[in-house]
């Protein structure tokens, strides 16, 4: 948003709508320099979340190192006490924060609209003390599940631990609407899926090959990305709780990385024998369909540079892989390496130039939208 504002002001300056003497003031208005309070808040948040993560990691390593020296009661008492402290800290911090952000002392009279009284403030989501407490509670909950499994030897598979952990902290992530908690759930789901496919490799070996498992990872992360996109697009009560750009970017990166790995596998595993490579072509079509859909969506429907950059990188990787297979099998490998290097330089330069032009186009569109909104 700040980059978009600065780009809009720059275009206004080029069009002569802002004087040279007022240009610096306009830029500072769109992107002000951080003051001492902002720096203190940033350092405080970094120390707070680093401290929570270190406390969680310290407890887990302490339990592992002193496993034989501690009794079962001591182990459970340590983990459950910390879990209770984190939950209590969340309640107190959340109550204090709402007291200042949403003061209940204001009278609910007829002059105050009902939707303004019931709508939560966006400041209660994000990097704050209550969400840090929920993050610590989520880590302790995972440690508690692992402790139960190791102490009583429940016989549960490793994938079940991560899956149950992800399900149990879903309410925490929804309450907090916080990127790190949602990102933790995404990581747990991916780890659980990987361990599940690995645990039942002998059962699913006749159904799922390695290339099919890669496709499943790509589709699952793409579904997570689309879920967050749709959840924050509709007007509903929990819209702000799914406004997590970090999760959207990470899930899309994981999805496109999986599909890129898929197409590279297809390229090097492809055989010109139709009978042996018929099923390989379906994965190539899946890759083309997914990448084309993402390109069209983020180019025309919801313009964004980051997804387009990932798509271009994936396509460039596929092109280089295809050339590598054909050229490195030739009788002149040195010439093949030279040609591949030239192609990499050309693809990189062309992609950067096109993205730069696209950035200017998006800035012009934002300028027009700002002018239309101002006239309205």
Chain segment 215-272, per-residue pLDDT in tens: 999 999 999 999 999 988 888 787 778 888 889 999 999 999 999 999 998 888 766 5
User: Is 40 part of any domain?
Assistant: no
Question: Residue 354 is encoded by which pair of tokens?
Answer: 């096109």
**Residues 185 and 173: beta-carbon distance below 8 Å:** yes
pLDDT at 259: 95
pLDDT at 118: 39
Q: Is 172 buried (19+), middle (13-18) or exposed (0-12) by CB count in 10 A?
A: buried
Residue range of the domain that includes 184: 71-98+127-208
pTM above 0.85, yes or no: no
Structural domains of the chain, count:
1
> How far is it between the farthest Cα atoms of the chain?
85
User: Is 49 part of any domain?
Assistant: no
For the beta carbon of residue 233, count every other beta carbon within 10 angstroms: 11
User: Is 151 part of any domain?
Assistant: yes
What whole-number distance in Å separates Cα of residue 374 and Cα of residue 166? 45
User: Is 183 part of any domain?
Assistant: yes
User: Is 274 part of any domain?
Assistant: no
User: Is 51 part of any domain?
Assistant: no
What whole-number distance in Å separates Cα of residue 12 and Cα of residue 34? 24
Residues 316-338: what's their mean pLDDT? 81
User: Is 359 part of any domain?
Assistant: no
Q: What is the pLDDT of residues 348-370, one digit of tens each?
A: 999 999 999 888 887 766 555 55
Question: Residue 68 is encoded by which pair of tokens?
Answer: 């034989």
Q: What is the pLDDT of residues 44-87, one digit of tens each?
A: 888 999 999 999 899 989 988 888 888 888 889 999 999 999 99
Kindly tell me if the per-residue pLDDT of 113 is higher than 50: no
Measure CA of the first residue to CA of the last residue in the chain; give whole Å.
Answer: 21
User: Is 122 part of any domain?
Assistant: no
């Amino acid at each position: 948003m700040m980059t978009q504002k600065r780009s809009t002001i720059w275009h206004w300056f080029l069009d002569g709508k802002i004087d040279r003497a007022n240009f610096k003031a306009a830029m500072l208005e769109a992107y002000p320099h951080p003051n001492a309070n902002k720096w203190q808040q940033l350092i405080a948040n970094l120390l707070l979340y680093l401290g929570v993560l270190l406390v969680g990691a310290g407890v887990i390593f302490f339990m592992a190192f002193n496993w034989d020296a501690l009794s079962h009661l001591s182990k459970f008492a340590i983990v459950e006490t910390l879990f209770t402290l984190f939950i209590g800290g969340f309640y107190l911090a959340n109550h204090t924060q709402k007291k200042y952000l949403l003061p209940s002392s204001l009278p609910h009279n007829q002059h105050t609209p009902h939707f303004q009284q019931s709508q939560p403030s966006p400041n209660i989501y994000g990097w704050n003390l209550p969400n840090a407490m929920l993050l610590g509670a989520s880590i302790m909950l995972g440690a508690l599940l692992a402790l139960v499994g190791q102490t009583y030897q429940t016989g549960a598979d490793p994938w079940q631990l991560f899956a149950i952990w992800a399900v149990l902290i879903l309410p925490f992530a929804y309450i907090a609407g916080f990127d790190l908690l949602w990102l933790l759930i995404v990581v747990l789901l991916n780890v659980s899926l990987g361990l599940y496919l690995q645990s039942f490799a002998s059962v699913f070996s006749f159904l799922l090959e390695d290339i099919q498992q890669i496709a499943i990872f790509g589709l699952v992360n793409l579904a997570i990305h689309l879920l967050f996109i749709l959840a924050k697009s509709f007007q509903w009560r929990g819209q702000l709780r799914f406004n997590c750009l970090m999760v959207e970017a990470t899930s899309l990166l994981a999805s496109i990385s999986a599909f890129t790995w898929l197409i590279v596998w297809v390229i090097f595993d492809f055989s010109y024998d139709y009978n042996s490579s018929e099923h390989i072509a379906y994965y190539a079509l899946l890759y083309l369909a997914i990448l084309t859909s993402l390109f069209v969506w983020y180019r025309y429907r919801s313009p964004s540079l980051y997804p387009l950059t990932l798509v271009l990188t994936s396509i460039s990787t596929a092109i280089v892989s295809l050339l590598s297979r054909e050229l490195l099998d030739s009788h002149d490998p040195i010439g093949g390496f030279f040609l591949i290097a030239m192609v990499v330089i050309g693809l990189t330069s062309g992609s950067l130039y096109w993205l730069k032009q696209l950035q200017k186009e998006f800035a012009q569109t934002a300028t027009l939208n700002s002018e239309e909104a101002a006239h309205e």
